[in-house]
Chain A
């Protein structure tokens, strides 16, 4: 297999995109409507899918129009290689191919506990240790080999992180072992840094930012539980200042960045237009404009 540095050249630059999942158009932002009315603001659609629900009409229509997509899995435990069965691999590959996804991505950790069964769904971060990172890397290599698509792991959100590693050190190890790209969720990183009492940019200077293929931005809010302060990853329309700080630090250093997603699909379009505009000014679809901006 070729090295990441070679493979990344084959991935398209997608620009700024919108996230969504099954039938979200009925409850929040319809990607098709956004494209029709604000074509200059969204250039691809990241569909969050699982085998139980499959694809919806919105993403099918989007793909049928020849517009770019990525497939964000919501149902595989990368940290648990046992979870990676043939059925999941073949079906996920089929779904991603049906919408012509440029790559696969998704939170690394666990999407369910134990069996993939109703009631077991719960997004959990990985245990931040070397052993877990190596198992995650093995899973990514397996997915890439079986699907023929790049698999880009994302740092997940949580209020509870267990393990001795910093989240960035964990993902650096995963990327190195799997020789893969990473999806850096700026909001999730801000959450992690807050739980560890660190500054938003802590650890980024030592992170291999050339591995960052995609970034996520989303709104969040501070919460308090009997004096315990934490950040809720509530995907509100307003990203926290810490999230912007991380994004703006990483952007000029992420030399292989292909896509930024604003995860805001449960809001109204009007609430989100300013952030889309800001993201497009920071990361234009056209690389020449980007070079000039940087």
Chain B
């Protein structure tokens, strides 16, 4: 189905001028591995090279959408790098190109790009990695809720066999983060609110600056449950036993299997049963076929 291959190429070229240069300069290398006939390759190269640049705001519009989901991460990164190009590099990254080729989520690819930046030192703020993971978890919940639909818990059976399988309902997830992650997010939100009062103030030397992020305390953790709320995905604090139990239910798992490893979950059987009961009732967990 080479018209699909061509369309994906068109998207990649519309976003990535460097890739356009490669395609025109060395088509056999740039297009290697793609199922294109010589004629199709010719049709692609027949497009005036300048035409790919006709929409100079395309990247920024898309970045705006991505930044809506990764608002805190991108703010910290821009404050640190003082460079829009640091984020625009996403569109030349393997993460972006792979997401287009594989018909995958660009938002997810963007989170992988941000995390890669943490790993390779492109951004150094110690708070950033956990904030990216937290925003990625929320984005993931939003997507699963949209694709699978909300789970409406009905009346649960009076007894549930320990052979029954449970899993987190669509739109739910759990994560563990450094203890000050929420404070860091609130700190950035306050900064963004102040800036939103008059965005042009960002041009001023005495504009508000993003400084004084709460320190990371790696030894202390906060455990969070993400799930659908009244206005999007909300967060609930968990204790460690609940987190470890629910973590196991990110994939469908037999209750018996959960109860058989209380040591690993660092809870006793009663605690695990209580967690399952509470979150089954609340609709965060569902019985799975």
Using a CB–CB distance below 8 Å, which chain A residues touch chain B?
A: 79-80, 110, 113-115, 117-120, 122, 124, 126-127, 129, 131-132, 135, 159-164, 223, 225-228, 230
Contact = CB atoms under 8 A, between A and B. Distances in A.
B103 A131 contact: no
Contact of B105 (A115, A122, A129, A228): A115
A110 B1 contact: no
B11 interface: yes
Interface of B: 1-4, 6-8, 10-11, 14, 39, 43-44, 47-48, 50-55, 58, 62, 65-66, 68-69, 99-100, 103-107, 143
A119 B106 contact: yes
A160 B47 contact: yes
B6 A162 contact: yes
Contact of B50 (A79, A115, A162, A225): A225
A162 B5 CA distance: 12
What are the nearest 8 A-B pairs in CB distance?
A228-B50, A127-B3, A119-B65, A132-B3, A114-B103, A159-B54, A113-B11, A127-B6
A147 B1 CA distance: 27
B52 A114 contact: no
B106 A129 contact: no
Nearest to B104: A114
A113 B104 contact: no
Contacts of A113: 7-8, 11, 100
Nearest to B99: A114
B51 A230 contact: yes
Contacts of A160: 10, 14, 47, 51-52, 54
Contacts, number: 82
Contact of A131 (B1, B51, B69, B105): B1
Nearest to A228: B50
Contacts of B54: 159-160, 223, 225, 228, 230
A119 B47 contact: no
B39 A225 contact: no
A110 B7 contact: yes
A119 B105 CA distance: 9
A113 B143 CA distance: 16
A123 to B, nearest CB: 11
B267 to A, nearest CB: 37
Contacts of A117: 105-107, 143
Given A159-B54, A162-B43, A225-B53, A80 B4 contact: yes
Nearest to B47: A160
A120 B108 CA distance: 12
B69 to A, nearest CB: 7
B226 to A, nearest CB: 18
A164 B43 contact: yes
A165 B2 CA distance: 15
A118 B39 contact: no
Given A113-B8, A117-B107, A124-B7, 14 more contacts: A115-B105, A117-B105, A118-B68, A119-B65, A119-B66, A119-B106, A120-B106, A127-B3, A127-B7, A163-B6, A164-B39, A225-B50, A225-B53, A230-B51
A126 B105 contact: no
Nearest to A119: B65
24 contacts: A79-B3, A79-B7, A80-B7, A113-B7, A114-B99, A114-B100, A118-B69, A119-B107, A120-B106, A122-B58, A124-B10, A126-B3, A127-B10, A131-B2, A159-B54, A160-B54, A162-B6, A162-B10, A163-B43, A164-B39, A225-B50, A225-B54, A228-B48, A228-B54
B10 A118 contact: no
Contacts of B39: 164
Nearest to B52: A160
Contacts of B48: 228
A97 to B, nearest CB: 21
B44 A162 contact: yes
Contact of B3 (A131, A223, A225, A228): A131
A152 to B, nearest CB: 22
